[in-house]
């Protein structure tokens, strides 16, 4: 057998939010970590860029001061139905707005400063044998370790390679995001519905406005291009029309992604502990995916530390992590999936959004059911 090119205590596949958080956590405890990320930093990502304050105690523990990125501080939600009927509510815990460009890059620099190796390469296969995993890269190199964390996001070549169920089911969702210059309050996140989708609006650092919408392909395909779709569908909501008509795009063209799946996934597969979207993506309407990605990295890192310090067996580590994941996230994802199903049907979606604007308590309830509490540090 060929000698591996690298080895580590832990290999993390994917250097997004979950992967980099796991790398910072594990290296802080003295473990040798290799992150394999196919893209280079910094990079813009399709995301609403509103992060729940749930993560703040954990960021503090990781010695990450988010204030250095000059985020906006968001404590209110402005919600509207397609017709423009709207309501404002306070967010119980609140959050902050920061671009993924800045956030992921900061986490990357922190991981590197803690001596994590970050390889720019793509993982093509993971083979588990004799209590060790061998990770095969596009460059032809191999990396081995006794623990692998899967942090490769919502949809990756590895999902196909591993034959994960969700990969073969068609998903109707696509998303469009761009940064803008425009007037918008710093402390508000807007959640505005339109036929077949919804749009999130909030400020990030440097007075930049992030506008990101999710829509189903059926609505989208009837139009010539993004501009046409925005004008004839998204802007039918008067709030969105006002925001889009009075803002100037900073990106040359918007970023888009498709095939966004909210299907159930296994959180341990082939002895890989899955974290972030690789374990399950909550509907973005809930604005909780990033907090969950970061929190799941903490839970996996703690389970891995127990195993590598020989306090529990591999089997116990895997069972322990699955239990923690289910306790913390399973219900939130279920609610998110339910909301997503409603959104898939324009008529139901309009009824729900209208009901919410008439019965504001429903919105508070949805926020409570799809968000967690501050991450507890023991
Ligand atoms: C439209 C939309 C809006 C959203 N808005 C919000 C919001 O406002 N608030 C919120 O909290 N959440 C939001 N989310 C969810 C949030 O973006 C995700 O939950 C979060 O990005 C998950 O982080 P992650 O680390 O799991 O995945 P990612 O950040 O996607 O990282 C995965 C990484 O793995 C790498 N990778 C993949 N395959 C390989 C491979 N084979 N080899 C090497 N590297 C690989 C990728 O390049 C990528 O960098 C939104 C999601 C969508 C789709």
Q: Which two tokens stand for residue 65?
A: 């001061």
- Residues 6 or more apart whose CB falls under 8 angstroms from that of 373 comprise 54, 93
Q: Is 34 in the pocket of ligand 1 (CB under 6 A)?
A: no
Please report the pLDDT score of residue 355 as a whole number: 85
CA atoms within 13 A on the CB side of 203: 20
How far is CA 102 from its chain centroid?
A: 15
d(CA 33, CA 118): 9
- Which domains occur in the chain, in start order? 6-169+261-370 (3.50.50.60)
For the ranges 48-62, 274-288, 359-373, the lowest mean pLDDT is seen at 359-373
Do the beta carbons of residue 149 and residue 10 sit within 8 Å?
yes
Q: Which two tokens stand for residue 5?
A: 């090119």
Strands (DSSP E) contained in 246-328 are: 248-249, 255-260, 268-269, 272-274
Average pLDDT, the chain: 94
Please report the pLDDT score of residue 250 as a whole number: 98
Q: Is 328 helix (H, G, I), strand (E, B) or coil?
A: helix
For 207-236, the pLDDT digits (tens) are 999 999 999 888 899 998 999 999 999 999
Please give the number of the atom of ligand 1 that sits closest to the Cα of 121: 43
Cα–Cα distance list, 311 to 31, 300, 304, 323 (Å)? 15, 15, 10, 17
For residue 16, the CA-to-ligand 1 centroid distance in Å is 6
For residue 358, the CA-to-ligand 1 centroid distance in Å is 34
For the ranges 161-170, 174-183, 196-205, 366-375, the lowest mean pLDDT is seen at 366-375
Q: Is 156 in the pocket of ligand 1 (CB under 6 A)?
A: yes
Please report the pLDDT score of residue 307 as a whole number: 98
Q: What is the DSSP letter of 47?
A: S
For the ranges 47-61, 66-80, 350-364, the lowest mean pLDDT is seen at 350-364
- Mean pLDDT for 5-18 is 97
Please report the pLDDT score of residue 95 as a whole number: 97
The residue with tokens 């993390």 is 12
Q: Is 19 in the pocket of ligand 1 (CB under 6 A)?
A: yes
State percent of the chain over pLDDT 90. Answer: 79
Please report the pLDDT score of residue 313 as a whole number: 98
Q: Is 210 in the pocket of ligand 1 (CB under 6 A)?
A: no
Whose C-alpha lies nearest to ligand 1, atom 6?
48
Smallest Cα–Cα separation from 204: which of 102, 79, 64? 102
For the ranges 106-120, 305-319, 357-371, the lowest mean pLDDT is seen at 357-371
Smallest Cα–Cα separation from 76: which of 63, 62, 86, 66? 86
d(CA 34, CA 302): 17
Please report the pLDDT score of residue 154 as a whole number: 97
d(CA 46, CA 220): 17
Cα–Cα distance list, 160 to 121, 164, 295 (Å)? 18, 6, 26
DSSP string computed for 231-256: HHTGGGSHHHHHHHHT-EE-SSS-EE
Q: Is 259 in the pocket of ligand 1 (CB under 6 A)?
A: no
Q: Is 93 helix (H, G, I), strand (E, B) or coil?
A: strand
Q: Please state whether the peptide bond connecting residue 42 to the residue before it is cis, i.e. omega within 30 degrees of 0.
A: yes
d(CA 217, CA 222): 9
For residue 355, the CA-to-ligand 1 centroid distance in Å is 31
For 246-272, the pLDDT digits (tens) are 999 999 999 999 999 999 999 999 999
For 143-155, the pLDDT digits (tens) are 999 999 999 999 9
- With cut-offs at 50, 70 and 90, classify the pLDDT of residue 362: confident
Q: Is 365 helix (H, G, I), strand (E, B) or coil?
A: helix
For 325-356, the pLDDT digits (tens) are 999 999 999 988 888 778 767 678 778 878 88
Q: Is 291 helix (H, G, I), strand (E, B) or coil?
A: helix
Backbone angles phi, psi at 147, to 5 degrees: -130, 135
Q: For the stretch 55-86, what's the b/e string if a residue is b when 16 or more beta carbons lie within 10 angstroms of its beta carbon?
A: bbebbeebebebeebebbebeebbbbbbebbb
- With cut-offs at 50, 70 and 90, classify the pLDDT of residue 1: low
- Residues 6 or more apart whose CB falls under 8 angstroms from that of 66 comprise 56, 59, 96, 98
> Rg of the chain over CA atoms, in angstroms?
21
d(CA 131, CA 166): 27
Please report the pLDDT score of residue 224 as a whole number: 87
């Amino acid at each position: 057998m060929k000698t591996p090119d690298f080895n580590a205590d832990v290999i993390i596949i994917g250097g997004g939010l979950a992967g980099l958080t796991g790398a910072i956590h594990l290296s802080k405890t003295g473990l040798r970590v290799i992150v394999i990320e196919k893209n280079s930093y910094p990079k813009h990502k399709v995301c609403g860029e509103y992060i729940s304050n749930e993560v703040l105690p954990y960021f503090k523990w990781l010695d990450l001061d988010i204030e250095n990125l000059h985020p906006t501080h968001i404590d209110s939600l402005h919600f509207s139905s397609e017709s423009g009927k709207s309501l404002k509510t306070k967010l119980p815990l609140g959050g902050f707005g920061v671009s993924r460009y800045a956030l992921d890059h900061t986490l990357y620099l922190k991981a590197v400063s803690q001596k994590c190796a970050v390889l720019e390469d793509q993982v093509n296969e993971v083979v588990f044998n004799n209590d060790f995993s061998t990770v095969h890269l596009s460059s032809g190199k191999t990396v081995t370790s006794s623990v692998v964390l899967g942090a490769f996001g919502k949809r990756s070549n590895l999902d196909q390679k591993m034959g994960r169920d969700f990969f073969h089911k068609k998903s109707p969702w696509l998303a469009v995001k761009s940064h803008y210059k425009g007037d918008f309050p710093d402390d508000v996140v807007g959640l505005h519905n339109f036929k077949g989708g919804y749009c999130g609006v909030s400020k990030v650092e440097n007075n930049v406005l992030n506008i990101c919408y999710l829509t189903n392909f059926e609505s989208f395909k009837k139009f010539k291009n993004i501009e046409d779709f925005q004008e004839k569908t998204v802007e039918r909501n008067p709030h969105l029309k006002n925001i889009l008509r009075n803002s100037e795009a900073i990106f040359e063209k918007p970023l888009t992604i498709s095939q966004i799946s909210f299907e159930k996934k296994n959180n341990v597969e082939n002895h890989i502990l899955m974290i972030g979207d690789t374990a399950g993506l909550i509907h973005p309407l809930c604005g909780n995916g990033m907090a969950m990605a970061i929190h799941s990295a903490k839970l996996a890192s703690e389970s891995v530390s127990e195993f590598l310090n020989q306090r529990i067996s591999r089997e116990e580590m895997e069972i322990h992590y699955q239990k923690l994941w289910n306790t913390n996230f399973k219900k939130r994802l279920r609610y998110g999936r339910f909301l997503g199903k409603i959104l898939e049907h324009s008529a139901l979606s309009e009824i729900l959004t209208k009901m919410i604007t008439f019965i504001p308590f429903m919105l508070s309830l949805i926020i409570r059911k799809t968000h967690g509490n501050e991450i507890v540090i023991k």
